[in-house]
């Protein structure tokens, strides 16, 4: 029976100790400089090369703690269960429901992505559509669905932005102060104040103020109607226990 010259036990032990190794460390653990032998042994252990640092670092799949995107970072060295950077980008784009801008991929992968996304597009591995001043990268097979989803998200964000602008609560600081102010009021006072702000906005005001304050739209409508009825006195909106104490019977 032929004797095994280059066992993987020592190499595996070293991986679990350090989590990430360079090629030189692997060579030393195996006791060989023959690349064919080295990578044959690494394949047996189900290894991954880093998609960062020009792929010069290695780990094992059973060591990597992949996140929901199939990514793992150790000491600023980045790995993907989808392998290389270009393959990882393609897999992310294909599995996305709304595509990716290059800036989003860069933030997610923590490396430069301009060259690989351009290469993918040139090879017709991904599709792209321009939105504003940037390209949105999409799956070749479902780009229409992804593009429509992205448009809906952008329109919703613009709508919310306009909502704050129209209501006058476009500043984050102003909205923060509004919530602080509302927390000092009792239930009826909150209802009346938010109803008043709704009246100022006109049609759709109840829904707008509900989205801004989190108060139920029906509660705001009630406060608005109470104000319009002009049947409110200061005594009727005092908190419990306010006003002059009642006379006790002797």
Per-residue 3-state assignment (H helix, E strand, C coil) for the chain: CCCCCCCCHHHHHHHHHHCCEEHHHHHHHHCCCCHHHHHHHHHHCCEEECCCHHHCEEEECCCCCCCCCCEEEECCEEEECCCCHHHHHHHHHHHCCCCEEHHHHHHHHCCCCHHHHHHHHHCCCEEEEEECCEEEEEECCCHHHHHHHHHHHHHHHHHHHHHHHHHCCCCHHHHHHHHHHHHCCCHHHHHHHHHHHHHHHCCCHHHHHHHHHCCCHHHHHHHHHHHHHCCCCHHHHCCCCCCCCCCCCC
Using CB atoms within 10 Å of the CB of residue 114, give its burial: 0 to 12 exposed, 13 to 18 middle, 19+ buried: exposed
Q: What percentage of residues in the chain have a pLDDT greater than 70?
A: 87
Can you give the pTM of this predicted structure?
A: 0.65
Residue length, the chain? 250
pLDDT in tens, 31-76: 889 999 999 999 999 999 999 999 999 999 999 999 999 999 999 9
What is the distance, to the nearest Å, from the Cα of residue 19 to the centroid of all Cα atoms in its chain?
A: 28
Q: Tell whether the model's pLDDT for residue 194 goes beyond 70.
A: yes
When pLDDT is cut at 50, 70 and 90, the band that residue 4 belongs to is very low
What's the pLDDT score for residue 62? 95
What's the pLDDT score for residue 52? 96
How many Å apart are CA 95 and CA 151, to the nearest integer?
18
Q: Tell whether the model's pLDDT for residue 7 goes beyond 70.
A: yes
pLDDT in tens, 151-186: 888 877 776 666 666 667 767 787 788 889 899 989
pLDDT in tens, 205-247: 888 888 888 899 899 999 999 888 887 776 655 555 544 454 4
């Amino acid at each position: 029976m032929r004797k095994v010259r280059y066992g993987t036990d020592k190499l595996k032990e070293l991986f679990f100790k350090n989590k990430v190794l360079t090629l030189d460390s692997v060579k030393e653990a195996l006791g060989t400089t023959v690349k064919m032998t080295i990578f044959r042994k690494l394949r047996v252990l189900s290894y991954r090369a880093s998609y960062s640092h020009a792929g010069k670092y290695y780990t094992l799949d059973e060591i990597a703690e992949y996140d929901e995107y199939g990514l793992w970072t150790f000491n600023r060295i980045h790995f993907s269960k989808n392998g290389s950077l270009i393959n990882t980008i393609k897999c992310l784009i294909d599995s996305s429901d709304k595509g990716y801008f290059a800036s989003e991929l860069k933030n997610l992968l923590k490396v430069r992505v301009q060259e690989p996304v351009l290469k993918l597009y040139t090879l017709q591995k991904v599709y792209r559509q321009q939105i504003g001043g940037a390209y949105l990268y999409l799956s070749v097979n479902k780009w229409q669905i992804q593009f429509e989803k992205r448009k809906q998200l952008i329109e919703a964000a613009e709508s919310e932005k306009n909502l704050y602008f129209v209501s006058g609560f476009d500043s984050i600081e102003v909205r923060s102060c509004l919530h602080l102010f509302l927390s000092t009021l009792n239930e009826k006072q909150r209802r009346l104040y938010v109803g008043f702000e709704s009246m100022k906005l006109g049609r759709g005001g109840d829904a707008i103020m509900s989205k801004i304050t989190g108060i139920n739209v029906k509660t705001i409508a009630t406060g608005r109607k109470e104000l319009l009825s002009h049947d409110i006195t200061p005594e009727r909106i005092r908190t419990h226990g306010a006003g002059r104490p009642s006379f006790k019977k002797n």
